[in-house]
Structure 1
Amino acid sequence: MANNRVTDIKNPFKEVFEALDLKEQRKAMKGAMRREGNRVKRAAVANLSSSPGGKGGRPLGAGTRQKVSRGIYVRTYPERYGTGFMVSVKPHGRIRGVHQNRHGYLKPVLMWAEDGTRSRNVGRRKKSFFSSSRWSGAKVRNYKRSGHSTGYMRGYHFLEKTERETADGVENRIFDDFRKNIDKAARKRGLLD
């Protein structure tokens, strides 16, 4: 339980932090994570919309009813897993990371666009072989098929580019936001002048 004495604003950050209870400390940290996560998400959306397009030079998702960029989302880690955030396009739940196409089907388009897909063929299975999964490294069964090739999707790597561009200074920005949130909570409780 925090005491209600007035703390001088010139005192170090540690004293103000310790004057708040655990719930307020966690709320301040989660707010800082969410703010930085949203900033990184905006950078990812900008990189997606400026990525070089395929047919006619149009960016990915041009001409769709629903914006493809809605599939980019931020997850702030729950308290039991520590602290942090993640910007992702991998499907999570029913609506995160998926795109509804014009036929009403939900597809993980951005997951395919980030990493690319392998070349595939239509038709009956001729023979099977095992290979390692690109993502998990586990052994997976693949098939050779008798029909024509349906091609592949090249990787756009917009999240990878975003990570390279935004990695510098993430910790500093999070701590600055965290400090502002702590000061705001302390002023609300009357701990700072």
Structure 2
Amino acid sequence: MAVSSLKQPITRLIGRSKIISTRQEGTKVRRRLSPVNLPAYAAQENLLKNTPLFAELRGEEQRAIGQGMQLRSYTVNETLFAKDEPGDALYLIQEGWVKLSTADGNPVITALGPGSLAGETDFLLGRPYMATARAASDVMVWVLENTALAQMMAGCPQIGLSLGLAFGAGIVQFQDHLAEKLVKIP
């Protein structure tokens, strides 16, 4: 007899994250849930306070963002997201290094380490990812998906405004930096 609906989820602990597994029509679906260890939460709180996009948010806004994030781990060369996929999440690196490239086999654009964000511009602009992100080492990242952010903003619209202002401030800083560099070109 074919399974027509989700069975009861099976929850278990793996590493630092809780995994929930379900079966739907014979296909196993796995997704990572919120972390279950307190040291990871403490590290996340510190990361949010020191990451420019989140640093200017009020404490309760940072806590709401943190509660909406999921802790995920990736092994070396595992893809976090690929170029042209929907930009539906941003990644805050807790441990390890992530390399960004424009496509398979192309040179690395940049390497991002602990405290860095990956995919945030595409996520906030609602466009496909402009690069591919791969783990350059074993990596632990906090992931904020657009559905979680939308739920937060429904309950507290100020979060959306605060993130928009912080994102805009970063763009202004980048433009100022470019203008400064261009002035020096003879």
Q: Does the pair score TM above 0.5?
A: no
Larger Cα Rg: Structure 1 or Structure 2? 1
User: When you count strand as a share of all residues, which structure comes out higher?
Assistant: 2
Select the structure with the greater relative contact order (CA < 8 A; seq sep ≥ 6).
1
Superposition TM-score, scaled by structure 1 size: 0.26
